[in-house]
Structure 1
Amino acid sequence: MEGRAVLLVNLGSPDSPSVSDVRRYLNQFLMDKYVIDLPYLLRRLIVSCFVLPRRPKQSAEAYASIWWPEGSPLKVLTERLTEQLANKTRAVCVRYAMRYGSPSIEQELISLASRPDVTEILVVPLYPHYAMSTVKTCVVELERITRDQDIRLPVYVHPVFYEDEAYIGALYDVAKPFLQQSYDHLLFSYHGVPERHIRKDDPTGSHCLSSADCCQQSSVAHLTCYRAQVLKTTAAFVAKAGIEQDKYSVAFQSRLGKAKWLEPYTNKQLVSLAEQGVKKLLVMCPAFVSDCLETLEEIAIQGEEIFKAAGGESLTLIPCLNDHETWAEVLAAWWQKSPAKLSRIKG
């Protein structure tokens, strides 16, 4: 694709594990109306009065426990993946940006659009599954930037890839060494979302979460249903890996606030599995392509403590795709996709 540049977009990270940097990051993240989907004044009240007074110190301690000498694990891993992709394609330029924190999408998009050798930009949101708080907010931000900055060249977005064969194959390549070892159970822990987000993005207005088996019933709603998509990722992976039905389960982590989120919750599932006699537990987090606070601290540290306290013996976190060579090769193949298979941003 002559003249095509690539911009990988990940969620983001504070610049450091200091309380001030974490507070700044949390403020930007939680004030996004697609993350906390409440009217501005109510959202501002919740974030300023109930989250920012205490949460930054707690989160800073958590970030400090997983921080690498080179910096934030998520940022470092995204940088490494970007370098790998640049070496595997003939793209004019390969860059990365963060939806929250730095480098910003706006900064990188303007930089790419100003290059005379760039004729179009492919943006790849590094989220396998559609959600209001990930893919939707990324697309809305791209639309705002192209409009406000009067970017005229084509900006395309790669679609979600939750059951893409190559993505599933990359997940399997990373997990295979762990699956070949002795284990009792594999837990798929996906990032949770509030149930109201699922219902808000249901184009039918009535399908999602209407019954226990709604995700197994064919519906246009699945195009924007996070729950249906993560279940399809799970099904595709266990079919690829040949894992028996009674040897795996699905749960949702990272719940925030008192609203009802997708269930079962990971922390409760860890206790339940231990009480059922599971001793050696594997956990993988396919919703994340890069290891981060939610995997390295919430699962590998907190999760292990919860599991062992309930009677389990070992919890092993299977790494995310990170900068694995197979994953970089998958992205390199996507770089060549026809615009007909992509979505063009309307500024």
Structure 2
Amino acid sequence: MNKKTAVLLINVGSPDSPTVPAVKKYLTQFLNDKRVIDIPWLLRKILVNLIIIPFRVKKSTKLYLRLWTKKGSPLIYISEELTQKLQNELGTDYEVFLGMRYGIPGYKAALQQINNKGFSKIILLPLFPQHAMSTTETALVAAKNEIKKLGIKARIFEVDQFYNKPQFIDAFVERIREHDLKQFDHIIFSYHGLPNRQVEKCHPGIRVENCSCTKALPAHGTFCYRATVYETTRLIANKLQLAATDYSLGFQSRLSKNWLTPFTDELLAEKLSEGKKRILVVAPSFVTDCLETTLEIAYEYAEEFLEKGGEKLQLVESLNTHESWVKTLVHLVKSANQ
């Protein structure tokens, strides 16, 4: 057996290219995941393949075209650079692999490589700070199913959510402090939205609107996405010594009104109506800049904000390959391997 420890970094993924066929293939794989759209199989197939994808694929392709760079998809090439930096920091006792849940480079190919090299230990590390069934859960379940399919006998270690790790909080605080906070009227922490029903599965019998997690992390909140994003915000705000009136929390990327609220775009309009014309936006559910940050926030939300009379909307760059983020990952890996 290989005495090194294999580390598999897992992120969501990206289309292979900004073309209609590639984007359609990616959306088909992504949206047909039962943990992403958690409705009965037949209804999901009809909704995704006959309604959502046909009506969404051309618009999504245009967005990816705008996002694409000479190096390709930012999510992919940034993740590849992060993988190499983490490898350099961990040294020869570890070998770091990258596998996307959907698309290329895929987690299955990465696990096949790991299997071929005969590692005795494998660390699965989904790059999602807060646990959700559509991110962390689907990544871990898919990876473990593939490990079983390949007959891998290595010891498996999992790194689940890490939203409350001091190293992670400090990394985002460092990013935020790259901006002069005195130059902004307000800070908005924007998180990827989820359907209310997915959140309520974490605490059966407690509806989202009746949950106390906006004020403090409740007893049931360990894996409640809404609870953990509010806790993430509190931890960052405390480090920055922000007053409660200095910041707000919103959710973006919604597909319907029955998703977590408040919605970030509506929150921006509300703050603008209060005379807050210079807004700093932080997105702590994303560790890598992607379509949801670079385009949705920094382009679409910013454009709308300025059109309505705002003066500036500034997105804080995500952790990407920042040194503090690499060191955070080193800590997570070594903690999992103890």
Deviation readout 1:15-38 (Å, 9 max, x if unpaired): 111111111101100000001101
Residues 215, 222 of structure 1: 8 Å contact kept: no
Residues 186, 283 of structure 1: 8 Å contact kept: yes
Deviation readout 1:164-207 (Å, 9 max, x if unpaired): 100000001111111445111111010000000011232xx224
Cα drift, residue 159 of structure 1: 2.1
How far apart, in 1, do the equivalents of 2:100 and 2:254 lie?
A: 22
Q: CA RMSD in A?
A: 1.7
Deviation readout 1:82-103 (Å, 9 max, x if unpaired): 1110110124311111111111
Residues 132, 201 of structure 1: 8 Å contact kept: no
Q: Within the alignment, does 1:42 sit opposite 2:43 as a pair? A: yes
Cα drift, residue 65 of structure 1: 1.0
Deviation readout 1:248-290 (Å, 9 max, x if unpaired): 100000001x350000011111111111111111101000000
Q: Following TM superposition, where does structure 1 have runs of at least 4 consecutive aligned residues deviating by more than 3 angstroms?
A: 214-220
How far apart, in 1, do the equivalents of 2:217 and 2:314 lie?
A: 35
Cα drift, residue 132 of structure 1: 0.9
Which range is displaced more, 174-183 or 48-57?
A: 174-183
Residues 119, 153 of structure 1: 8 Å contact kept: yes
Residues 208, 215 of structure 1: 8 Å contact kept: no
* Amino acid in the other structure paired with 1:139: L
Which range is displaced more, 187-196 or 270-279?
A: 270-279
Q: Are residues 58 and 89 of structure 1, via their aligned partners in 2, closer, same or farther at CA, if it must alter by over 3 Å?
A: same
How far apart, in 1, do the equivalents of 2:168 and 2:235 lie?
A: 10
Q: Are residues 37 and 239 of structure 1, via their aligned partners in 2, closer, same or farther at CA, if it must alter by over 3 Å?
A: same
For residue 345 of structure 1, what is the aligned residue in structure 2? none
How far apart, in 2, do the equivalents of 1:179 and 1:234 lie?
A: 19
Q: How does 1:254-273 map to 2 (within 5 A)?
A: 254-256=253-255, 258=256, 260-273=258-271
For residue 176 of structure 2, what is the aligned residue in structure 1? 175
Residue segments in structure 1 that go unaligned for 5+ positions in a row: 341-347
Aligned mate of 1:320, from 318, 321, 326:
318
Cα drift, residue 338 of structure 1: 4.6
Cα drift, residue 73 of structure 1: 0.6
Residues 86, 93 of structure 1: 8 Å contact kept: yes
Q: Are residues 218 and 126 of structure 1, via their aligned partners in 2, closer, same or farther at CA, if it must alter by over 3 Å?
A: closer
Query: What SS does the corresponding residue of 2:200 show, helix, strand or coil?
Result: helix
For residue 227 of structure 1, what is the aligned residue in structure 2? 226
Q: How does 1:1-347 map to 2 (within 5 A)?
A: 3-90=4-91, 91-116=93-118, 118-180=119-181, 182-202=183-203, 205-207=204-206, 209=208, 211=210, 213-216=212-215, 219-256=218-255, 258=256, 260-339=258-337
* Amino acid in the other structure paired with 1:74: L
How far apart, in 1, do the equivalents of 2:337 and 2:310 lie?
A: 49
How far apart, in 2, do the equivalents of 1:230 and 1:330 lie?
A: 18
Cα drift, residue 155 of structure 1: 1.9
Cα drift, residue 216 of structure 1: 3.8
* Amino acid in the other structure paired with 2:205: S
Residue segments in structure 2 that go unaligned for 5+ positions in a row: none
* Amino acid in the other structure paired with 1:247: D
Which range is displaced more, 186-195 or 48-57?
A: 48-57
Deviation readout 1:311-333 (Å, 9 max, x if unpaired): 21111110110000110011112
Cα drift, residue 305 of structure 1: 1.5
Residues 127, 160 of structure 1: 8 Å contact kept: yes
TM-score, normalization by structure 1: 0.93
Residues 10, 97 of structure 1: 8 Å contact kept: yes
